[in-house]
Chains A and B, each alone.
Chain A
């Protein structure tokens, strides 16, 4: 039986009067690649940001790797949160690389400071990761010198440098020119093939169809439909899903 990596139970989240998440239940097993689809404003980013406590939930329970981050809206103490959230890594739509640091410096900052690795150890890990994302020759470049696709691959490598067990992606290719999305998606597919647990908010239907192990469709702050990709795309059950897919394909 696959072990559970992430479990969300009855998550509610509002911004003022705007009820954005209205009871999300979700289980992600180890090695799963979950594609999260849905129209803009449906709460996809908010859900992702609740998982790693960039947003604070109002109600519900979150477990990560079997450890409780928040129970019925009450968070564990900060130190424990820190330990639990170390299992998560995140890639943003806007990359959010540190512009004043070189690629290598971006990759070793957290491993040296947070994990206490020596500079040499951190550099060794970073160099490996840069090789993996195809940017071994750019380690001394500043982010502004890289294309968007390269920046996003560095951002992926930076997150991986902390050796997380689950990677969260929030529309990682949406800020890219169309000709640059391929290289980022390729990196993500390779990660999926290595059985990294991934939750990917995306509008890339091909990626969801071919690289994910399961798809969820969100609308209005709830999960409307959930299935394995073949079934999801070939045989959508809900009318809202069908309408969404008609628009996307």
Chain B
């Protein structure tokens, strides 16, 4: 009985690490991705190229490699980050690049006529972005953002290789110690529960922002 309680506690702690990585990565990479998208669409050429390069690197190499790089290579050049910060840095940079591409496509999907209509009504540029463009972009990007977010739930398990006690590693430790498969099943159920909640949440959002469709 005590063993079971012990096991549950460990798994809870692992789940907390997983959730922490997930929530902080999402909270940082979404706005960062939005800024990077604006950079990619900027009329300032060097900024545009820089953002293109950044997106190319982040999407063109495995997230696993990026994690290892931040975790092992940066300390070699004297940049020591706490474990969790290193993981968050890699995840955030990677996901921001994916979100940037999604936002860029969303912004480019807004017809020029929307900007022109706002302009001839005398609406200032930032008001137009905020009130006219952003809500329409949101509608377009929600489905791909939802996909990426669900990927992130599962990608958090990559920190396994960094020997941090996330849900997956805790589960494996217990399985090895106790010769009992239950922790794997609990871990699987936890991931499933998270993705189910997210799927439901995004569906609600899509319905809300899609209410104007014919």
Q: Could you list which residues of chain A lie within 8 angstroms of chain B, going by C-beta atoms?
A: 52, 54, 82, 85-86, 88-90, 92, 94, 96-101, 109-110, 113-114, 142-145, 158-159, 162
| CB contact under 8 A between A96 and B114, given known A109-B131, A142-B212 | yes
The complex places the Cα of A92 from the Cα of B116 at a distance, in Å, of: 9
Closest 8 CB pairs of A and B: A144-B214, A96-B117, A110-B121, A96-B113, A142-B212, A114-B122, A90-B120, A100-B135
Residues of chain B with a CB closer than 8 A to A144's CB:
212-214
Interface residues of B in 93-140 (CB under 8 A from A): 111, 113-114, 116-123, 127, 131-132, 135-136, 139
Of listed B113, B119, B120, B122, residue having the most chain A CB within 10 A? B120
Distance in angstroms from A144 CB to nearest chain B CB is 4
Q: Say which residue of A89, A97, A98, A143 sits within 8 Å of B120 (CB atoms).
A: A89
The size class of the interface chain B forms with chain A is: 20 to 34
The 24 listed contacts between A and B (C-beta, < 8 Å) are A54-B116, A54-B120, A89-B120, A90-B120, A92-B116, A92-B117, A94-B113, A96-B111, A96-B113, A96-B116, A97-B117, A98-B118, A98-B132, A100-B135, A100-B212, A110-B122, A113-B131, A142-B211, A145-B214, A158-B121, A159-B120, A159-B121, A162-B121, A162-B122
Residues of chain B with a CB closer than 8 A to A109's CB:
121, 123, 131
Residues of chain B with a CB closer than 8 A to A86's CB:
122
Q: Say which residue of A90, A98, A145, A158 sits within 8 Å of B114 (CB atoms).
A: A98
Contact B113 A92 (CB under 8 A): yes
Q: Could you list which residues of chain B lie within 8 angstroms of chain A, going by C-beta atoms?
A: 111, 113-114, 116-123, 127, 131-132, 135-136, 139, 209, 211-214
Contact A114 B121 (CB under 8 A): yes
Residues of chain A with a CB closer than 8 A to B127's CB:
113
Distance in angstroms from A52 CB to nearest chain B CB is 6
Contact B212 A99 (CB under 8 A): yes
Residues of chain B with a CB closer than 8 A to A90's CB:
120
Q: Which chain B residue has the least Cβ–Cβ distance from A111?
A: B121
Contact A98 B122 (CB under 8 A): no
Residues of chain B with a CB closer than 8 A to A145's CB:
214
Q: Say which residue of B117, B139, B209, B214 sits within 8 Å of A98 (CB atoms).
A: B117
Residues of chain A with a CB closer than 8 A to B131's CB:
109, 113
The complex places the Cα of A96 from the Cα of B121 at a distance, in Å, of: 12
Q: Which chain A residue has the least Cβ–Cβ distance from B210?
A: A100
Distance in angstroms from A24 CB to nearest chain B CB is 20
The complex places the Cα of A142 from the Cα of B135 at a distance, in Å, of: 14
Residues of chain A with a CB closer than 8 A to B119's CB:
54
The complex places the Cα of A138 from the Cα of B193 at a distance, in Å, of: 43
Task: Beyond A54-B120, A159-B120, list 12 extra A-B contacts (CB 8 Å).
Answer: A52-B120, A82-B122, A86-B122, A96-B111, A98-B117, A99-B136, A113-B127, A114-B122, A142-B213, A142-B214, A144-B214, A162-B122
Of listed A100, A114, A144, residue having the most chain B CB within 10 A? A100
Residues of chain A with a CB closer than 8 A to B139's CB:
100
Residues of chain A with a CB closer than 8 A to B212's CB:
99-101, 142-144
The complex places the Cα of A218 from the Cα of B153 at a distance, in Å, of: 61
Of listed B113, B117, B211, B214, residue having the most chain A CB within 10 A? B117
Residues of chain B with a CB closer than 8 A to A85's CB:
120, 122
| CB contact under 8 A between A100 and B122, given known A94-B113, A144-B212, A144-B214 | no
Distance in angstroms from A106 CB to nearest chain B CB is 9
Distance in angstroms from B109 CB to nearest chain A CB is 12
The complex places the Cα of A53 from the Cα of B209 at a distance, in Å, of: 33
Of listed A88, A98, A145, A162, residue having the most chain B CB within 10 A? A98
Contact B123 A113 (CB under 8 A): yes
